[in-house]
Amino acid sequence: MSRSDVSSESAKLLECTDCLAPADAFALIGNETRLSILEALWVADERPVSFSELRREVGMRDSAQFNYHLQKLTGHFVRQVEDGYEFKHAGEKVVRSVIAGSFNEHPTLEPFAVEGSCVACDGPLQAVYEDERLAIECPDCGQRHGEYSFPPGGLNGRTREEIADAFDQRVRHLHCLAADGVCPECSGRMETHIVEDGVCCLGVGVRVDHECAQCGHTLCSAAGLRLLDHSEVVSFHRERGVRLDERPYWTLPWCVSDEYTRVLECDPCRLEVRLPVDGDELRVVMDGDLEVLETTVESSG
């Protein structure tokens, strides 16, 4: 059964019996006192937190008024248990978004140089931050080496070098989840498609598109990016003195270019990615869901 078939079957089985419309959900938390309650839960040393302790932390004297706001949150953002109140996932998500700066921070960051050289012209690379997205690009020819979301909170307390490293780790994590069929935004089912049209932030002719069937979140990349944590790929590079976990993804041409990728078959889809190191080459064949089917090593010796 394909991923789309499983998704359809799941949709038939799951029905929301106690759901809020999005506008109603935002209305519930669009209140300073209710946000303060969620933040008080977040900073608590232990959970659950009692009614009196929450009220004291929020600083509201009127018990009835405080209870009114707390009950508005209960059931959707927090749950009441025997010893007090604790988060539901939605409440935790709201607080994390506030901490990440997604709701209330709009920082600016001048472009800065990063490690590596352009796969198109061998020029220098820089990181550019705009609209909560960070892109690695070549200022000489404009070639993009990936552009992904990076919440404003990720800039806080970090040097430019640390920002670049955090971005690299985030991109690896996002694509690892997506390729495993899990949406990094909502945990819904992520569907993978091989596309040959060259229209994306990388400008590659063959790319991988991941799209969430639930929330519509999308990610795109060169096919090789999926291989960064594959055991045989990691071993192949380590045996030749290359630690992939110490190399930003954009310094590895097979992660940002389709020069090393070719489509072997279309139905069903099969891809081959070549990974050259010091004259040797690892060839990896993957299916349309980016599962590795086989690997072979061609040695220069």
Cα separation, 201 vs 3, whole angstroms: 26
Please answer whether residues 73 and 38 qualify as being in contact, where contact means their C-beta atoms are separated by less than 8 angstroms: yes
Range 14-100: architecture per CATH: Orthogonal Bundle (1.10)
Boundaries of every domain in the chain: 14-100
Residue 64 — φ and ψ, nearest 5°?
-65, -40
Per the structure block, which two tokens stand in for 198? 């060259």
| pTM of the predicted protein model | 0.72
Count of Cβ atoms closer than 10 Å to residue 220 Cβ = 22
Dihedral angle, C-alpha 90, 92, 93, 95, nearest 10 °: 130
CB 184 within 8 A of CB 217: yes
Confidence at 100, pLDDT banded by 50, 70, 90: low
For residue range 7-61, list pLDDT tens digits in order: 444 444 344 445 555 556 566 677 888 888 888 888 888 989 999 999 999 999 8
Tens of pLDDT along 139-149?
Answer: 999 999 999 99
Statement: residue 164 has pLDDT above 90 = yes
